Structure 1
Amino acid sequence: MKKMLSKNTFITLICLGVSFGLIQLLISQNIINAYYQVTLALICINIIMAVGLNLVTGFTGQFSLGHAGFMSIGAYTCAIVTTSMPTTTGFLLGTFAGAIMAAIFGILIGIPTLRLRGDYLAIATLGMAEIIRIIFLNMKITGGAAGLNGIPKFTNWPWLWFFTAGTILLVNNFIHSSHGRACISIREDEIAAESMGINTTKYKVMAFAIGAFFAGIGGALYASTFFILKPNMFGFLKSIDILVIVVLGGMGSITGSVIAAILLAVLTTYLQAFTALRMIIYAALLVVVMIFRPQGLMASKELDFTKFFRIKTKDGEKVE
C-alpha cells in the first residue's frame, strides 16, 4: 500500500509539473491572455479553498458554512502586510501570516463550535463568519465599508501553481496519514471512533485549523490578484460558492474538488455574455447534476494515476 501511494504521489508530481510547463508556455505565447489569466487565478484560488473545505466537510464530516470568514482573515492580513511592504518578501510574509492567523482563529472558533453536530454546527460557523465580516466592516485598519484599495499585485502563474500544488499534496498526504484516517473514522461513525480511543474533538479541531490555514492562503492570493477588498466580498454566498464546488466534485474527493473548480470557473467565464440568464443556466446545471449524480462527479473516489502505467502480461496479470 505504501509503495502504491508513493508511486501515485510521484506520478501526481509529474502531472503537476507538466501542467505548469504547458500553461506557462501558453501564457508566454499569449494564447492565455490577461483575461483568461484572471480565470486561471480564480480556478487556483477555488481549488485551494475547496480542497481545504473538503478536508473539513468531506473527509471529517463536519458541515461548515464559515469558510469565507477564514478567507477574509487571510486576505486582509496579506493586504495590510503587502501594502506596508510592497516586495515579493512582503507578499510571502503576508500570505503565510494570513494563513497562520486564519488557522489560529480556526482553532479558537473550532474548540467550542465543533462540539456541535449537523445543522447546529452549520449555523454556528455561519454566525462566526458573519461576526468576522462585521468586525472587518468596523475596523479602521481594514478601511471599514470602503475596504482596501491599491493592494500590490504579486500573484502570477508560478506562485498560483506553487500554492495550489502544495495544497493538493499536503492535504493528500495528511489524509493518508494516521491523523487523516482518524478524521475519516469520525466521518463514518463518530461514536464508534470515540469508543476506539480516538479523541474526536482534537481531530475535528485539527482538520478545521488545517482547512482554515488553506482558506487563509486562498484569501491572500485573492487579495493580491484583484487589488481591492471589501467586507461584502466574504459574505454567506462566498461560503456557499466553495461548498457547491465540494459537493459537485464529490464529498471526500480531492480530484473531484479540482475538476469541479475548473468546470465552474470555465462555465462562469463563458456565460459572461449572457448576463440575464447566467445565474439561471448556472443553477439549472447544478440542479441537473445533483438529480442525476447526487454523490458528485467523483463521489469519494480519486484518480489513480498508477493505473495508466500498468502493463498486462500474457497471463492477464498487471505489472508496473
Structure 2
Amino acid sequence: MNKKIFKSYLVPGVTAIVLVVVPAVLFKLNILSMYVAGILNLCAIYAMMALSVNIICGITGQLSLGQAGFMAIGAYSTILLNQMAHIPLPLAVIIAALITAVFGFLIGFPTLKLEGDYLAIVTLGFGEIIRVVLTNIKNITGGPNGKSFNTLLTFYEIPKYVILTSVLVIIIIFIQNFIRSSYGRAILAVRDDEVAANANGISVFRYKMIGFVIASFIAGLGGAFYVWHIGFIKPEQASFAKSIDYLIFVVLGGMGSVTGSVLAAYVLTMLQEGLRFLKDFRLLIYPVILIFVMIFRPQGLLGTNEFKFTKIPEYKERIKSFVKKFSKKDKTEKTEAEK
C-alpha cells in the first residue's frame, strides 16, 4: 500500500514542485533569461487551452471549434471586472472563469443535442459571433484595436511563472481525478458508446453538458491569464484560426491524453518561437507536423495514454527498441541494395 501511495502521489507531487521551483530559481539567478520565462508562461496558457479542448474532443467525444471564443470571454471579463468594477485581480480571474462557464452552459444547452459535424459548425459559428460582437462594442472592448490591461504582475515574469505553472498543475490534477471519478467514467462511457450508456441509465446530455461547462471554465481561466500575461487582447483571439491552433495541440498530443496535450502545447509553442527567424514560413511547421503524425502515428504522440514519471525506465526501453527496429530495417535495405 505504501509503495502504491508513493508511486501515485509522492513521485508526481515532488516532480510538480521541482518543475515549479527549480526554473523559478534559475530565473532569479539569471541563469535563464526573462525571455525564456515569458515563453514558458505562454506555454502554460496554451496548455490550459489544449486541456480545455481535450475535455470536449478527447474525453467527452464531441467536436468543438469555438474554444477561442470562450477564451476571449474570459479575457475581456477579467479586464472589465478588474479595471471597471475594481475587483481584485485573483477574484476577477475566478469570476471571469465562472462567467465563461455560464456562457458555456447557455451555448451547450441547445447545441449539445447535435452531434459530429453539426456541433462543430454551431460552435464555430459561436466563436465568430463572439468575435464580431467584441469588434463592434467599441465602448467596452476597444473595437478591432483591442483593449489593454495594466497590472504590475504583467511586467514580472518570475511570479507569473510560479502562478501559471502552479495553476496548470492544479488543473491537470483536477482533470485526472475527475476522469477517475464516477462522473468521469460516465463521460467516458458516453464518449465510447452513447446508445449503450443511455441503455445503462446514464444521462447522455447531462454528462455532455458537465464536460462542456468544465471545458468552458478552463478556457475562461486561459483567457484571463492570457490577458494578464500579455497585457493586451484583441477580438481576433476569438477567431476560428485560434481554435484550430488549440485543436492541433490535442491532435498532436493524443485525443484523451491530458499529459499528451500539455506536452504538445509546450513543444509546438517553443518550436514556433525557436524558428521565428523563418518569419511567416514557420507557420508551415504545424501542417507538416500534422501530416507526419497522421501518417506515422494517427493516434497522436501518447494516444489515450498518460505520461507517468514512474515508468521512465520503461519509456527508455521502448525508445531503444524503436531505434533498434529502424536501424535493422536500414541495414537490411542497404544489404539488399548492395546485392
Same fold (TM over 0.5): yes
Contact 1:68 1:236 in 2 (8 A): yes
Contact 1:82 1:94 in 2 (8 A): yes
For 1:305 and 1:35, the matched residues in 2 are separated by 28
For 1:128 and 1:147, the matched residues in 2 are separated by 19
Q: Deviations over 1:229-280 (max 9, x none)?
A: 1101220011001000001000010110111011101110111011142122
Letter in 1 for 2:110: P
**Kindly tell me: are residues 214 and 197 of structure 1, through their superposed partners in 2, closer, same or farther at Cα, counting changes over 3 Å?**
same
Report whether the alignment pairs 1:151 with 2:155. Answer: no
Give the alignment of 1:37-48 within 5 angstroms. 37-48=37-48
Partner of 1:76: 76
Letter in 1 for 2:199: S
Measured after TM superposition, the shift of residue 152 of structure 1 is 2.0
Unaligned ranges ≥5, structure 1: 311-320
Q: Which moved more, 1:126-135 or 1:28-37?
A: 28-37
Letter in 2 for 1:35: Y
Measured after TM superposition, the shift of residue 153 of structure 1 is 4.8
Contact 2:69 2:237 in 1 (8 A): no
TM-score, scaled relative to structure 2: 0.86
Q: Deviations over 1:178-236 (max 9, x none)?
A: 00001111110011101100001000000000000000000000001111111012200
Give the alignment of 1:292-303 within 5 angstroms. 292-303=296-307
Partner of 2:193: 189
For 1:212 and 1:249, the matched residues in 2 are separated by 20
Report whether the alignment pairs 1:175 with 2:175. Answer: no
Q: Deviations over 1:113-168 (max 9, x none)?
A: 01100000000111111111222122221122222124325351121122111111
Contact 2:254 2:303 in 1 (8 A): yes
Looking at secondary structure, tell me which structure has more helix per residue.
2
Measured after TM superposition, the shift of residue 98 of structure 1 is 1.1
Measured after TM superposition, the shift of residue 31 of structure 1 is 2.8
Q: Deviations over 1:53-85 (max 9, x none)?
A: 111110110111110011011100112223247
For 2:40 and 2:310, the matched residues in 1 are separated by 27
Contact 2:82 2:89 in 1 (8 A): yes
Partner of 1:28: 28
**Larger Rg: 1 or 2?**
2
Partner of 2:320: none
How large is the RMSD of aligned CA atoms in angstroms? 2.2
Percent of residue pairs bearing the same amino acid type: 43
Contact 1:8 1:305 in 2 (8 A): no
Q: 1:243 aligns with which of 236, 244, 247?
A: 247
Partner of 2:97: 99
Unaligned ranges ≥5, structure 2: 155-159, 315-339
Alignment partner of 2:88: what SS? helix
**Kindly tell me: are residues 281 and 146 of structure 1, through their superposed partners in 2, closer, same or farther at Cα, counting changes over 3 Å?**
closer
Contact 2:187 2:211 in 1 (8 A): yes
Give the alignment of 1:152-301 within 5 angstroms. 152-154=151-153, 156-301=160-305
Q: Deviations over 1:94-121 (max 9, x none)?
A: 2111100110011111111011000000
Q: How many residues align?
A: 308
Letter in 2 for 1:189: D
Alignment partner of 1:141: what SS? helix
TM-score, scaled relative to structure 1: 0.90
